[in-house]
Amino acid sequence: MIAKIEQLLKEVEALHASNAEELEALRIKFLSKKGAINDLMADFRNVAAEQKKEVGMRLNELKTKAQDKINALKEQFESQDNGCDGLDLTRSAYPVKLGTRHPITIVKNEVIDIFARLGFSIAEGPEIEDDWHVFSALNFAEDHPARDMQDTFFIEAHPDVVLRTHTSSVQTRVMETSKPPIRIICPGRVYRNEAISYRAHCFFHQVEALYIDKDVSFTDLKQALLLFAKEMFGADTKIRLRPSYFPFTEPSAEMDISCNICGGKGCPFCKHTGWVEILGCGMVDPNVLESNGIDSKVYSGYALGMGIERITNLKYQVKDLRMFSENDTRFLKEFEAAY
């Protein structure tokens, strides 16, 4: 009996299996009810009393070793299986998540697109400007409040250098370097020395348009505005112009559109008037044309400008301006489907 146990112990130590079926066959051979070890267990009762202790110990040793060995082989197969699951080299790659466009960019591109269809081309200029291009060339008086420290960021060491307060400085740069006809649209970031709150920020975005040619009239401006409003806010949109004042246009107007949230019936957004203000515009002041070397007796033009945040608010009802610059991906993700 001892010899038989020794023989089986040697076999168990040398066990190997190259697949799960072979392993199962080994388990049946050694550990099943009709297996070799159980056969020995059955013979145990025939062992002489004085040998029972030793045979019993060796038999237990054999059983434990056989179980351990088969378990070890099993684990080996399982870990190999797991490795294969996690490393399928034939699997196609997971899709890479794309970012989304910022709502300001979406709306800016929409505005540009509408004016591009009217023949306007994009012009850009520096955000750090000099007093001439931001104010003087645009007919701002020396004591105009817009130059005040409260509105404009001046560079301390060079009071002539400012962060542009509007994109009109780009119009100045185009006028001084090109001859009419001029038909440009200037999108860009501008800066004002304002306390940051839900409705004001120290930087925001504008789009301005400038058209200078012979015989440009207020009627042309009105047509461009009406087309823009209908394209941007829907075919039913109405516009109205209210007289206003800007240093660089004469006459000047502010344009309202029928509130696109309530359809003109009145709601908290339009303060129950049915109208919302969206942009400023006017005929280019002859002084501005002359300052930039354009003969105001031959040429005339119109200009208009709007805040992109304002337009975005109207389209998407963003109530807090600060959301635009916080880079909160939960906010930005809402615009995934918008372009």
Q: How far is the CB of 253 from Zn ion (least distance, A)?
A: 21
> Of 203, 205, 303, 312, whose CA–CA distance to 255 is shortest?
303
**Interface with Zn ion, residue 184, by CB under 5 A:** no
**Interface with Zn ion, residue 314, by CB under 5 A:** no
**Interface with Zn ion, residue 262, by CB under 5 A:** yes
Taking the least distance from each CB to Zn ion, the nearer of 131 and 254 is 254
Is residue 221 within 8 A of residue 281, CB to CB? The reply is yes
Q: How far is the CB of 280 from Zn ion (least distance, A)?
A: 21
Exposure of 229 by Cβ count < 10 A (0-12 exposed, 13-18 middle, 19+ buried)? buried
Q: Which segment (207-215, 259-267, 277-285, 314-322) binds Zn ion by CB under 5 A?
A: 259-267
- Give the number of residues in contact with Zn ion, rule: CB under 5 A: 6
Q: Which segment (33-41, 69-77, 216-224, 261-269) binds Zn ion by CB under 5 A?
A: 261-269
Q: How far is CA 135 from the centre of its chain?
A: 34
**Interface with Zn ion, residue 270, by CB under 5 A:** yes
**Interface with Zn ion, residue 259, by CB under 5 A:** yes
Q: How far is the CB of 254 from Zn ion (least distance, A)?
A: 17
Q: Which segment (120-128, 240-248, 251-259, 321-329) binds Zn ion by CB under 5 A?
A: 251-259
**Interface with Zn ion, residue 15, by CB under 5 A:** no
Taking the least distance from each CB to Zn ion, the nearer of 194 and 254 is 254
**Interface with Zn ion, residue 70, by CB under 5 A:** no
Q: Note the maximum CA span of the chain.
A: 132
Q: Which segment (28-36, 105-113, 265-273, 322-330) binds Zn ion by CB under 5 A?
A: 265-273
Taking the least distance from each CB to Zn ion, the nearer of 226 and 261 is 261
**Interface with Zn ion, residue 210, by CB under 5 A:** no
How far apart, in whole angstroms, are the C-alpha atoms of residue 121 and residue 219? 21
Neighbouring C-beta atoms of residue 332, cutoff 10 Å: 17
**Interface with Zn ion, residue 267, by CB under 5 A:** yes
Taking the least distance from each CB to Zn ion, the nearer of 122 and 262 is 262
CB-based closest residue to Zn ion: 259
Q: How far is the CB of 261 from Zn ion (least distance, A)?
A: 5
**Interacting positions 94-153 with Zn ion (CB under 5 A):** none
Taking the least distance from each CB to Zn ion, the nearer of 17 and 267 is 267
Q: How far is the CB of 302 from Zn ion (least distance, A)?
A: 28
Q: How far is the CB of 271 from Zn ion (least distance, A)?
A: 8
Q: Which segment (39-47, 74-82, 117-125, 255-263) binds Zn ion by CB under 5 A?
A: 255-263
> Residue numbers of the site for Zn ion (CB under 5 A)?
259, 261-262, 267, 269-270
